[in-house]
Amino acid sequence: MDEDAVSDDKTDPSIHDVEEDNVSLQEADSSDGEILRELRGAGEVLTRVELDLAYSSEKLLNLDIFMMHVVDRENDYETSAMENEEISDDSVQKALEFNFLSGILDSEVRELEKLMASLQPEIVDVREKISSCGHFRETFNELERKLHDSEESLEQSQNQVAEIRMQCDKFQRTLLAICGQDNWNDSKDGDFSDNDHFSNRNAKIKMQTAEQQRHILRMLEKSLARELDLEKKLSDSRHGEEELNQKLHSAEQEMFCMDEAVEDVVWRLFKAENAAEVLMGISKEMMGRLQIVQFNLNSSILREGEIRSKLQDLMKPTEMNGNGLRMLETGCETPDDLVETKLDATNLQEDGKDTHNSSEVITLREKVQSLELQLKECESQLQSTKDSVVENQKQQTVLTSRLSEMNNIIEDLNENMSKAESRAETAETKFSLLAESNLVLTEELSLIKSSDNGMEKVNSLEKQLRESDNQLQHAKASVEASQEQQNMLYSAIADMENLINDLKSKVLKAESRAEKSDTKCAILSETNLELNEE
C-alpha cells in the first residue's frame, strides 16, 4: 500500500505539469494575439505621430519665416524710435504691427507646445509596447526604426520650439519696454546683445531646419512613391476595366449573332414542318389510291375465277364431241356407202355445232388473255406500290431517328445558351462591382491627396487594390470561359446547319413529326423571347 501511494505521488505531479503546460500554451497563444493587436495599434499610433510631426515641422518652417518678419518690424520700430525722439504716427503704427505679429507668433508657438506635449506620451507608450514584446522584436524592425526617427524629429522640433519661445519672450520684453515698464537705455543695450544672440540662434535654426527638411523630404519621397504605385495600379485596373468593356461588347455582339442563327434555325424548322405536313397529305392520298387499287385487284381476281369456271364448263362438251369423233373414225374401217353417207350427214351437223362452239371458245380465250394481262399489270403496280410503301416506312424511321437526334442537340444548345447567359450575367455583375470599386478608389485617392491622414488611407487603398486585382483576375477568367463556351456553341450551330442541309432533301418524306416540331418550336420561341427581353 505504501509503495502504491508513493507511485501515485510520483505520477500525479507529472500529470499536473502537463495540464499546466497546456494551460500555459493556451495563455501564450491568447497573449500572442493580444500582443499582435497591441503592436498593430502601436503602428497606427506611430503613423499618426509621423503625420503630426510632418505637420509640425512644416509649421515650424513657416513660423521661422514669420519670425523673421517680426524681427524686421522690431528693427524698423527701433530705427524710427532712435531717429525721432518724439512719438510719431509712423512709430505708433509700427509698434502696433509689431505687437500684433508677436501676439500671433506667441499663440502659434503655444499650439505647437501643446502638440509636442501630446505627442511625447504617445511615443513613450509605443516604446513601452515594443520593449514589452521581446520575442516579436525581430519582426518589427521597421516599427522600431520609425519610432527612432519619430523621436529624433520630435526632439528637433522641441528644440526649435524652445528657441522660438525664447525669441517670443524677447519680443514680450521689447513690448514691455515700449509701454514704459522698463528703462529704454537698458533695453537698448540688451537689444544689441539679443540681436547677436539671435543671429547665432538663427544659424542653429537653419542647420536644424536643413536636417529636418531632409528628413521630411525622405518621408515625402516615400509617400510619393507609394502614391505613384497606387496611381499605376489604378491605371492598370482602369485598363482592365476597358478590356472587360470591350469583351462584354464583343460578347453582346456574339449573342446577337447567335440569336440570329437561332432564328434562322427556327425558320428552317418551320419550313421543314410545313413540308412534313404537305408530305403527310401526299402519303395519305397515296394510301387511299393503294386501297382503291387493292380493291380493284380483288374484284378482278374474283372475275378471273368466275371466267375460268365458265371456260372450264364450256370446254367439257367440246372435249366430249372430239372424243366421239375420234372413236367413230377408229371404229369404222370397212367401206360401206350407206354408213358413209349417214356418217357424212351426221358429221356435217356436228361440224356446224363445233364451229359455233369453237367461235365462243376463241372469244373466251381472248377475254381470258386480256384479263390475265390486266391482272399482271395490276400485280406489278401493286408490287411497285408495296415497294414504295416499304421505302417510305424505312425513310420515315430514319428521319424520326434523325429528328430525335436533332431535338437532343437543340436541347443541349438551349442548355448551353442558358449557361452562357448566366455567365454573361455574372460577368456583368462583376464588372459593375469593379467599376464601383474603381470609383471608390479614385475618390479615396483624391481625398488622400487633399487630406492629412495619408498613410492610413494609402495602406487601406493598397489592400482594396489587391482585392480589386483579384476580382479582375476572376472576372477575366469567367469571361474567357464564357468565350470558350460561345465558341463551342458556334461550332455546334455550324454542325446543326450542316445536318439541316443534309436533312432538307430527305425531310420531304417525313411523317408524324408535326406535333413534336410544334412543341420544340414553342420552346425555342419562348427561349428566344426570354433572351430578347434579357
* Rounded to 5°, angle at Cα 289 from 288 and 291: 65
Q: Give the pLDDT of the chain (534 residues) as one tens digit per residue.
A: 343 433 444 444 433 443 444 444 444 445 556 766 777 777 788 888 888 888 888 888 888 888 888 888 778 777 776 766 556 677 777 778 778 888 888 888 888 888 888 888 888 888 887 777 655 555 567 777 878 888 888 888 888 888 888 888 888 787 777 665 344 444 444 444 445 544 555 555 455 556 666 666 776 777 677 778 778 888 887 888 888 888 888 888 888 887 787 787 788 878 777 877 787 778 777 777 777 877 777 777 787 777 777 767 766 665 665 555 555 445 444 444 444 444 454 554 555 555 555 676 677 677 667 666 766 665 666 566 566 656 766 766 776 676 667 667 667 766 766 676 677 677 667 767 766 766 766 666 666 555 545 556 556 666 766 776 677 677 667 667 767 766 776 676 667 667 666 666 665 665 555 555 556 555 655 665 665 565
Burial of 225 (0-12, 13-18, 19+ CB in 10 A): exposed
Task: Tell me what percent of the chain is helix, strand and coil, each rounded to the nearest 5.
Answer: 95, 0, 5
Q: What is the pLDDT of residue 19?
A: 45
SS (H, E, C) 6-47: HHHHHHHHHHHHHHHHHHHHHHHHHHHHHHHHHHHHHHHHHH
Q: What is the pTM of this model?
A: 0.32
What residue type is 425 in one-letter code?
Answer: E
One-character DSSP codes across 445-482:
HHHHHHSS-HHHHHHHHHHHHHHHHHHHHHHHHHHHHH
Sign of CA dihedral 221, 223, 225, 231: negative
Residues written for the chain:
534
- CB distance 67 to 163 below 8 Å: no
305: cell is 375465277
Give the Cα separation of 93 and 87 in Å (integer): 11
